Structure 1
Amino acid sequence: MKLTKLFILLAAMAIAQEVDAQTTVKGKILNQKGESLAGISVHGSNKHTKTNDQGEYELYIPTAGTFQLQFTGIGFQKQELAVVPQGTITELSALILQQNNQQIEQIDVKGYNSVNHRSLEVSKSGVKDLDLPQAVQVINSQVISDQQINVLSDALKNANGVALGANRGGVNENFYARGYSLGTNNIFKNGARTNNGGSIEASTLESVQILKGSAALLYGGVTGGAVVNLISKKPKFEHGGEVAMRIGSYNQYKPMVDVYGPLSQRLAFRIVGTGGYAESYRDQVESKRLYVNPSLLYKISDKSDINVMFDYLKSDFTPDFGIGSVEGKINEKVGRNSFINVPWAYNKTNSSNAQVDFGHQFSDDWKLNVLASYQKYLRDYYGSERIQANAQGIAPRALNRSEQDELTFNQQLNLTGKLQTGTFQHQVLVGADADQSKVKNYAFNIFANGTGENVAPSTAYDNINVFDPYASGMRSDMPTADLKTRTNTNISRYGVFVQDLLSITDQFKVLAGIRYTYQKTGRSEVYDYKTNTTSVTENPGKDKVDMGDKVDKAWSPKFALIYQPLKATSLYVSYANNFISNSGYDVNYQPMGPSLLDQYEAGIKNDFFQGRLSTNVTWYKIINNRYAQTIIGDDGKVADSNMKEFTGRSASDGVELDVAGELAKGLDVLAGYAYNYMRYLETNENGILEDMRLVGTTAHTANGTVFYTFQDGAAKGLKLGASVFYTGKRNAGWNTTKANQREGLDRIIPIGAFTTFDFSAGYQYGKWNILAKVSNIGNTFNYYVHENYSVNPIPPRSFTTTLSYRF
């Protein structure tokens, strides 16, 4: 009897305990806009459910005591919550899930915030900027919006140390950084090499990221100045978008649209597009543009995603070589608006990009990224160029007709991860990349003197008086042009690299890495349309024997010491190198190897006021001790222009200052200054003069932008902003050689410094926003010059207004 009572008592206690342990947890899941989220998975104590259409869930938990709930959903960051049961029913407050756009880390576009504690796509490694021993700058989408930026050159005015060195024909922007041209190899879109022809559309970008200095470790055959990575806007798992209309001086109009949202729980889309038409302060010059950028993001699983992006740009410009030169110099008597090209000249470009970007998160520490892309670039050009007038202003106009067809493929694999060996922490990047470029250049026979059986091709069109370019009787017809030759050139690049950020202590770190690059430039194949034959342009060596394709091989190391005495301060010194390919052969008739450039850099990165303001200072020196020069014989003559030797030296050094921050809510600042001195240190007796600033480089550049948005009161929503841009003295023309000096010839065209001021004012009311800007308020007059024939005046005072609606 006693035993029976004991069993009954124990059973009652067990049932009471089981009843006390049972609870049903209830709650609701919202997004950042406060909207209900359906289909969110809720896990706890081996139980599982999903939210309904109202974002609500109920989950029975059979275990006793505190338990963990885990919330996961496609396109949202995983979140965990510790729950203490509150009886048989446990009701939780609404939980807000943060959106996950499946990027390494999204750049904050709400303000000009510091990026020192963020990892950037341009670094590939996931290393936060404060740990990166290299100067980095980001022009984010708010800067792009505030300054009403249209093309890449507008954005890069905010990147100190990066300057527009030339704008040949008004259709081919060429940027310089740290004394080196960015050329065609240093501009990337989402990590893949892209062509700068047609003026890259920048109004639709998420950000422009600039990695200054040598980036050969990560990108291979790039010059040592900087690489620019353009980040496209990505799909989002929430509905939204924006439509806008931009109008401005010279009949500019530009509609813009940006729409995004989920197509399912796993698939999101985004479509960005713009177009427009604009005339110019230059007579007869106009541009027509169309850009569209659709993309899809598919969430394969919680750990894997794939992003597919395509964009297309059609950009038609009137080629404009500006006011030309008079006796090799700039003559301000030629009007700022004077158009000297032929009236029917055209430059039509079409470019398209497609990318597939796959990411897989093995764990919290290890991630794999695979990228494959292609770009197609087409250019069709016809007009006159090289306007070089005599003292009376008379310049012969010669015609040029060309087409270019460029197809580029790129493949990349990057593995990033963290591991520990003893007390040391490692942040590792292992990568491989390849790209293949196939270029077709078409040349034409031009019949400027008419056509006929006995009429020979001629490019001589007419003569023009640059002081009176619109005189009556000027020729205006478009001569016939027939295909002459097609030249095919293929370039292949392959590289493998490894990088390790070693944390010895919390304060002291070491970054080390090395890359091997193999680059092959194929011999050109020339097809003659008249004879229907193909010939190979040989790479001649000894006794004119063909040496075959040009091959370059190079190792690119990097080593840096990093010291962080405070969490917001980082000091570093680094060494890296990059290579420049050379043509020709040495005295033994062996192909010239690449020139190796040594780059030394030291810098300080600082965040102040809890990260609201960053101030970064950088010093650098780039030395080329293997500058290839044509060999001059003992008799002072050149016997073979292809025979060269590594006897020259050049140097580029300078300092850079970056300032960015949101000093107070609504108060954004962005500023910078850079100094550069690029020159030759040693050349042969016919080489360029030593210690003379190289053409295209700029001594001093500076920029500053301040925007303030009123946060409350009667002026709430009002935005005021101002920007100032300074471009220092430059040299145009050609660098004077020692042979020129002996002949008393000076080929340099000195260009003075100039400063422009912009002022912006706008107002936001609900979802509507209007922003107006006056550019170059002081109507400053200056030029961008390519050599001595494309002399393009900078834009005068102008007005721009954008009206937008967000939904």
Structure 2
Amino acid sequence: MSPNYTSPISPKAFFVTILFFLCSLSLIAQNNALRGRVTSADGEPAAYVSVLLKEANKSAITNEEGAFTFKNIPAGTYTLIATCIGYEAQEKLVNVNAGQTTIQDFLVNKTSTQLQEVTVTGRQSINEKPVAIGKIAINPLDLPQSTTIIGAEVLEKQQVQTLGEVLQQVNGVYQMGNTGGTQEEIAGRGFAFGSSNTFKNGSRFNNGIMPEMSSLERVEVLKGSNAILFGNVAAGGVLNLVTKKPKFEHGGEISMRAGSYDYYKPTVDVYGSINNSDQFAYRLNTTYLNAGSFRDQVKAERFYINPSVLFKASAKTEILLEGDYMHDTRTPDYGVGAINYAITNLPRSTYLGVSFAKNEVEQRSAMATITHRLNDNFEIRSTNSFQNYNVALLTTSRPTNFVIDAEGRSNGDLKRGLQRSASDEKYYLTQLDFIGKLTTGSVKHTLLVGGDADKYDTEAPVFNAIAAYDVINIYNLNADNQRKDIPDFTTKPYNTKTVSNRFGLYAQDLISVSEKLKVLAGLRYSAIDTEGESTVTDPSTKKEVLGTSNSNDYAFSPRAGVVFQPTQNMSLFVSYANSFTPNTGTDVNLKPLDPSITDQYEVGLKNELLNGLLSANLTAYQIKNSNFAQRALFLADGVTANTNNNIKELAGEVTSQGIELDLMSKPIQGWSLIGGYSYNDTRYTKSNTYAKNERLRYNPSHTANASVFYAFQKAELSGLNLGATAFYVGDRLAGRNRTDANPTYKLIALPNYMMFDAHVGYAYQRVSLRLKMTNLLNKLSYNAHDDNSINPIAPRQFVTTIAYKL
């Protein structure tokens, strides 16, 4: 891809395309249909309301969005009745015209006799809704593992724009960095989440770019070790982005979001049956983003589309086809830099890069999921997916090369270099799961047996960096004194190529010994074969030649847990699992290094309080990598000091310990709550390289969050809701951990901070308006990567969204 990228579609062409598509859908839907939405007095969707079409003797139940649909109705006048326990029945006359779809909405009010402490709701709590990323629907109270789901209602109310904003509601999983302003680096329980830990609809997802949030139905987090399900994933947990799925009732939403710094984002989401079929349903999400930034010269542009089709091939077989395409271009930004491991004192808006810097990503994926029910107790699910991730980067090097005088001081002169890179990654996955329930005597079993195979094929040209491009003074930036030309980059003689093939077999059984005692046990076998080609320097000729590498890793990953439920609303659990991480480099005998094994122990308490209106979960854990790879001190003879960082030994140990408290409520008299707290301590507990008991970087010791929303119950304020959120991040470290080889390295203490956001929303029939003000107190802190990419968090900003339900 050329760095001189232009948008693949203009805003005008985008809207023309969408309008044409919507007109086409309306023609498809016109076949004597009646549909509508039922909302409560607080403006929220009323799920599970009974809707009766009296004269036609037809009935329907509203879904979680409050929508209902009647198809193939003869033209005429009908009586439409909506009823729900605790609410006044609503009755309306509607006229259904030939060849048209009639829309009729309802607003239901509480009856005067309703008990004040009772709220009718169809929403599930975090202890009632299984996570899809778990591959099998296990009730969270039966699962010896901590889980969190952030659903569509929260995503909509809080107008989330980035994944980092979502994770402010998830304790123990957090944004640990911000690489060049183009990627949110995620971590959990002290361990980084790479692409191996990030999933979209159950398939690994390259998180090298910020994911699109407008298409998401929910975000799932399965904390702790998940190696039995996915092989080599980091110990802290996995993250799954679940996109919105096709529906057979017609509906959707058109919205426009605008905010500070020229932020504009129109979005369209439409769904329904194809030609009123009971077999084919579709959904299409698409959005366009054009935004500036509080950072000078930094901007972003994105086009995204997510089509999907559901085909009910028979009463027992469903086929779901999903596509995903994103073209994202934005300015890479490595922040304000640090001089001698001290963050520079620059205005939050100061940009130190070049005007032509650009990071351009094109990401495509296709996925097919086939589910076949053998009978009421057994089903087979096949998942196949393909993803292509293509990135091109042209920017300055990170701001590290400051001019330092003999006394270690700097006047702010920065020698800027240029870097260019590109990569093309193809990822293939096939997965087959057998899921079943059976009984042996008095013991019940919930089985998962499956296998998966995937392949990463990555190729990247290697460009020679330009070390000396120009010199700027960060305290006295003058655009006229900065170079603006784009020099030619030379490439090395060989591209970097890596092919990684992975294969796994796994089996798991949830054994219900009794209603109160359950045991979860399972085992996975994984095999990974990695072959690589890259440019290396021949030590004898000093010429660059093609170097090759090959490694084969094998591992067994067990899992075991016990759950005790003294009551139906409480469960206590204890579990053990391990995971593995393949290592690069060789041992002192120049043989491929074995993988590192990480053991994890977890104990927890899950509670459903106030008759299920409030979920309160407490978890404690210890994660220990007792054969952490680090540079070997000596070569094979045990005498010669080793200076090669690729020659390693499994002699280190990293230990992570922590606790997490998760709180989430259902709506209670208009009030809803999400909150919690996490504590984590991750250290090098044994090392020949790092100081013993030194903390690992980026991981906050403490995080806490609270979100409170109130929807007004009185008729005169119906549809109005207010909210406030608070998010606290404790002390963190950036910089570099000191080693014997690099005694001048230092750690940088990042300031802790508390952010407050305010929310206002109003809904009237099908129109809604939401306003949000973020970082009300304008707090300043930083996300960091190493000692050089120090990115300020955003200042006080506003965002507003106006939406229309179709």
TM-score class normalised by the smaller sequence? 0.7 to 0.9
Asked if 1:504 is matched to 2:509, the reply is: no
Would the aligned equivalents of 1:113 and 1:661 in 2 still touch at CA under 8 Å? no
The residue number in structure 2 matching 1:74 is none
The residue number in structure 2 matching 1:132 is 143
Cα 1:581–1:764 shift into 2, 3 Å? same
Partner SS for 2:694: coil
Residues 367-446 of structure 1 mapped to structure 2, 5 A cutoff: 367-388=379-400, 389-390=402-403, 391-445=410-464
The residue number in structure 1 matching 2:337 is 324
After TM superposition, give the deviation of residue 585 of structure 1 in Å.
Answer: 3.0
Asked if 1:517 is matched to 2:516, the reply is: no
The residue number in structure 2 matching 1:280 is 293
Structure 2 counterpart of 1:658, from 655, 662, 672: 662
Cα 1:239–1:350 shift into 2, 3 Å? same
Residues 766-805 of structure 1 mapped to structure 2, 5 A cutoff: 766-805=765-804
Asked if 1:265 is matched to 2:278, the reply is: yes
The residue number in structure 1 matching 2:192 is 181
Cα 1:111–1:440 shift into 2, 3 Å? farther
After TM superposition, give the deviation of residue 481 of structure 1 in Å.
Answer: 2.9
The residue number in structure 2 matching 1:625 is 626
Partner SS for 2:728: strand
Partner SS for 2:166: helix
What amino acid does structure 1 have at the position aligned with 2:501?
A: S
The residue number in structure 2 matching 1:705 is 707
Cα 1:589–1:786 shift into 2, 3 Å? closer
After TM superposition, give the deviation of residue 762 of structure 1 in Å.
Answer: 1.5
What amino acid does structure 1 have at the position aligned with 2:425?
A: E
Would the aligned equivalents of 1:486 and 1:527 in 2 still touch at CA under 8 Å? no
What amino acid does structure 2 have at the position aligned with 1:408?
A: Y
Task: Tell me which moved more, 631-640 or 469-478.
Answer: 631-640
What is the alpha-carbon distance in structure 2 between the residues aligned to residue 498 and residue 362 of structure 1? 19
Would the aligned equivalents of 2:496 and 2:532 in 1 still touch at CA under 8 Å? no
Structure 2 unaligned segments of length 5 or more: list them. Answer: 1-54, 79-119, 404-409, 538-542
Residues 18-417 of structure 1 mapped to structure 2, 5 A cutoff: 28-32=57-61, 37-38=70-71, 113-263=124-274, 264-332=277-345, 334-388=346-400, 389-390=402-403, 391-417=410-436
**TM-score with structure 1 setting the length:** 0.82
Would the aligned equivalents of 2:587 and 2:649 in 1 still touch at CA under 8 Å? yes
The residue number in structure 2 matching 1:48 is none
Would the aligned equivalents of 2:536 and 2:547 in 1 still touch at CA under 8 Å? no
Would the aligned equivalents of 2:624 and 2:656 in 1 still touch at CA under 8 Å? yes
What is the alpha-carbon distance in structure 1 between the residues aligned to residue 667 and residue 645 of structure 2? 59
Asked if 1:672 is matched to 2:676, the reply is: yes
Would the aligned equivalents of 1:495 and 1:517 in 2 still touch at CA under 8 Å? yes
Would the aligned equivalents of 1:30 and 1:36 in 2 still touch at CA under 8 Å? no
The residue number in structure 2 matching 1:20 is none
Cα 1:664–1:480 shift into 2, 3 Å? same
Cα 1:141–1:690 shift into 2, 3 Å? same
After TM superposition, give the deviation of residue 737 of structure 1 in Å.
Answer: 1.8
After TM superposition, give the deviation of residue 523 of structure 1 in Å.
Answer: 2.2
**TM-score with structure 2 setting the length:** 0.82
Would the aligned equivalents of 1:490 and 1:524 in 2 still touch at CA under 8 Å? no
Residues 407-806 of structure 1 mapped to structure 2, 5 A cutoff: 407-445=426-464, 458-470=466-478, 472-484=480-492, 485-524=494-533, 536-539=546-549, 549-633=550-634, 637-638=641-642, 641-684=645-688, 687-740=689-742, 743=743, 745-806=744-805
What is the alpha-carbon distance in structure 2 between the residues aligned to residue 362 and residue 378 of structure 1? 40
Q: 1:27-46: CA deviations, max 9, x gaps? A: 7333335967458xxxxxxx
What is the alpha-carbon distance in structure 2 between the residues aligned to residue 315 and residue 339 of structure 1? 20
Q: 1:147-169: CA deviations, max 9, x gaps? A: 11122222112111112111111
Partner SS for 2:497: strand
- Number of residue pairs matched? 689
Structure 1 unaligned segments of length 5 or more: list them. Answer: 1-25, 40-50, 57-108, 447-457, 540-548
Partner SS for 2:294: coil
What amino acid does structure 2 have at the position aligned with 1:339?
A: Y
After TM superposition, give the deviation of residue 736 of structure 1 in Å.
Answer: 1.5
What is the alpha-carbon distance in structure 2 between the residues aligned to residue 250 and residue 674 of structure 1? 33
What is the alpha-carbon distance in structure 2 between the residues aligned to residue 480 and residue 244 of structure 1? 43
Would the aligned equivalents of 1:290 and 1:313 in 2 still touch at CA under 8 Å? yes
What is the alpha-carbon distance in structure 2 between the residues aligned to residue 299 and residue 665 of structure 1? 39
Would the aligned equivalents of 2:706 and 2:725 in 1 still touch at CA under 8 Å? yes
Task: Tell me which moved more, 371-380 or 637-646.
Answer: 637-646
What is the alpha-carbon distance in structure 2 between the residues aligned to residue 150 and residue 716 of structure 1? 27
Partner SS for 2:461: strand
Would the aligned equivalents of 1:214 and 1:224 in 2 still touch at CA under 8 Å? yes
What is the alpha-carbon distance in structure 2 between the residues aligned to residue 649 and residue 27 of structure 1? 71
After TM superposition, give the deviation of residue 677 of structure 1 in Å.
Answer: 0.6
After TM superposition, give the deviation of residue 325 of structure 1 in Å.
Answer: 1.3
What is the alpha-carbon distance in structure 1 between the residues aligned to residue 778 and residue 151 of structure 2? 28
Based on CA coordinates, which of the two structures has the bigger radius of gyration?
A: 1
After TM superposition, give the deviation of residue 785 of structure 1 in Å.
Answer: 1.0
What amino acid does structure 2 have at the position aligned with 1:486?
A: N
Would the aligned equivalents of 1:113 and 1:612 in 2 still touch at CA under 8 Å? no
Q: 1:472-491: CA deviations, max 9, x gaps? A: 32212222235444211111
What is the alpha-carbon distance in structure 2 between the residues aligned to residue 338 and residue 572 of structure 1? 50
What is the alpha-carbon distance in structure 2 between the residues aligned to residue 480 and residue 738 of structure 1? 39
Would the aligned equivalents of 1:112 and 1:660 in 2 still touch at CA under 8 Å? no
After TM superposition, give the deviation of residue 361 of structure 1 in Å.
Answer: 1.2
What is the alpha-carbon distance in structure 1 between the residues aligned to residue 544 and residue 314 of structure 2? 52
Would the aligned equivalents of 2:588 and 2:647 in 1 still touch at CA under 8 Å? yes
The residue number in structure 1 matching 2:109 is none
What amino acid does structure 1 have at the position aligned with 2:301?
A: K
Task: Tell me which moved more, 485-494 or 638-647.
Answer: 638-647
What is the alpha-carbon distance in structure 1 between the residues aligned to residue 611 and residue 762 of structure 2? 29
After TM superposition, give the deviation of residue 720 of structure 1 in Å.
Answer: 0.1
What is the alpha-carbon distance in structure 2 between the residues aligned to residue 474 and residue 114 of structure 1? 56
Identity of aligned pairs, percent? 39
Partner SS for 2:228: helix
Would the aligned equivalents of 2:735 and 2:745 in 1 still touch at CA under 8 Å? no
Cα 1:54–1:489 shift into 2, 3 Å? farther
After TM superposition, give the deviation of residue 636 of structure 1 in Å.
Answer: 7.3
The residue number in structure 1 matching 2:105 is none
Would the aligned equivalents of 1:155 and 1:202 in 2 still touch at CA under 8 Å? no
Task: Tell me which moved more, 519-528 or 128-137.
Answer: 519-528
The residue number in structure 1 matching 2:6 is none
Cα 1:396–1:225 shift into 2, 3 Å? same
Partner SS for 2:548: coil
Cα 1:586–1:401 shift into 2, 3 Å? closer
After TM superposition, give the deviation of residue 471 of structure 1 in Å.
Answer: 5.3
After TM superposition, give the deviation of residue 122 of structure 1 in Å.
Answer: 1.3
What is the alpha-carbon distance in structure 1 between the residues aligned to residue 715 and residue 481 of structure 2? 64
After TM superposition, give the deviation of residue 628 of structure 1 in Å.
Answer: 2.3
After TM superposition, give the deviation of residue 353 of structure 1 in Å.
Answer: 1.2
Would the aligned equivalents of 1:242 and 1:258 in 2 still touch at CA under 8 Å? yes
Cα 1:169–1:150 shift into 2, 3 Å? same
